[in-house]
Amino acid sequence: MTRTAEQREADDDLTRAVERVIGLYDNDGEHWVTTDYMVIAAQRRYDDDGDPLTAVAIAYRDGDVPIHHALGLVEYARARLVKIATGATGSTFG
């Protein structure tokens, strides 16, 4: 996928933001390298009749992550969230 200069700049900004958030919320003092990420966001707007519309947006590192990496991230995150929801662990990071 060819990215525009503006897309590359936005991707770099997003990577810095992701790494900063992880570092601030889950800093174990070790140096970690972020290899892949995806940001998942729920969106809402209203149509001309006032009816709500919803969507899910996914932003991948540098605009694209191999599908097997994306699915792996989602499934692993799901398993961690289930553990948190059932009280098996208290951290959303790590």
Cα gap 91→26, rounded to integer Å = 9
Give the other-Cβ count within 10 Å of 40's Cβ: 11
Cα gap 74→82, rounded to integer Å = 12
82 has a pLDDT exceeding 60:
yes
pLDDT over 90 percentage in the chain: 72
Cα gap 11→82, rounded to integer Å = 30
The structure's pTM equals 0.76
Alpha-helix residue ranges (DSSP H) falling in 5-93: 5-25, 67-85
- The two tokens of residue 9 are 């700049």
- The two tokens of residue 60 are 């991948």
pLDDT digits (tens, 9 = 90+) for 14-37: 999 999 999 888 878 888 888 999
Beta bridge partners of 52: 46
